[in-house]
Chains A and B, each alone.
Chain A
């Protein structure tokens, strides 16, 4: 079955960078867009951006321009989200999420388990 397994929790200092991985299995990796969504403690969902695993094309939410980079490694069916210049308000659970169908770009049907990133001095 489809699985998205994310890397473990991270603790970072302000100004540092974090790279979260999302390893996939159970489907053809290059056929489905992958998105990243985060959720601060007790808050709602916040969209970060997406990557097309087929060609690596990315589209980031304006809020994260210049700070986020999404990449993929097709050899191991994994996507990555790197966020730089971390601040305390970047403390959140970060999710990777796959679209529901090959022709879809937006409906997120499969989610990773989430990765808690804590930014603290």
Chain B
């Protein structure tokens, strides 16, 4: 199972919006509405930000939103804040009922 494809880095200024893409195949992202997004800050465990493509867990800001089209999922963060910095990972359920992660995207808030 190959890793999902994410851009290595994205950046934005405070208040702006950014979008991170996550491209897979019909055997994972395209085949299921089970895409999740995680944020990991240095030295910490990942934190779930989005599940089932577009749902936010309790306590996650509504500035975070998710979507999917075909084999590509996306995470949009609006109204960027410095606290949003970190590494973002997507994951998807696969046809073998395992998960696969993306390679990760480093978000820098300039």
Contact B45–A113 (Cβ < 8 Å)? yes
User: Is B103 among interface residues, defined by CB-CB distance under 8 A?
Assistant: yes
Asked if A50 CB lies within 8 Å of chain B CBs, one says yes
Q: Is the CB of A45 within 8 A of B89?
A: yes
Within 8 A of A (CB), among B71-110: 87, 89, 91-93, 96-104
Most buried by A among B91, B99, B102: B99
* CA of A47 to CA of B101, assembled, Å: 7
- Complex Cα distance, B55 from A100, in Å, reads 12
Q: Which of B10-18, B19-27, B46-54 contacts A (4 or more CB under 8 A)?
A: B46-54
Closest to A95 in B: B45
Closest to A45 in B: B101
Output the least CB separation between B47 and chain A (Å): 8
Cα distance A35–B98 in the bound complex, in angstroms: 10
The SS class assigned to the B binding surface is strand
CB neighbours of A76 from chain B (8 A): none
| B interface bracket (residues with beta carbon within 8 Å of A) | 20 to 34
In the complex, what distance in Å separates the CA atom of A103 from the CA atom of B26? 23
CA distance A112 to B48 in the complex (A): 13
Q: A44-B3, A100-B51, A111-B46 are in contact. Are A106 and B103 (CB under 8 A)?
A: no
B18-72: which residues lie under 8 A (CB-CB) from chain A?
A: 34, 36, 38, 40, 45-48, 51-52, 57
**A106:B1 contact, CB within 8 angstroms:** no
Asked if A53 is at the interface of the complex by the 8 Å CB criterion, the answer is no
B74 CB, min distance to chain A CBs, angstroms = 17
18 A-B contacts (beta carbon < 8 Å): A44-B101, A44-B103, A45-B46, A45-B89, A45-B104, A49-B98, A59-B96, A97-B45, A97-B46, A100-B48, A105-B97, A106-B36, A106-B91, A106-B92, A108-B38, A108-B91, A109-B48, A109-B57
Residues of A within 8 A of B (CB): 35, 37, 44-47, 49-50, 59-63, 95, 97, 100, 104-109, 111-114
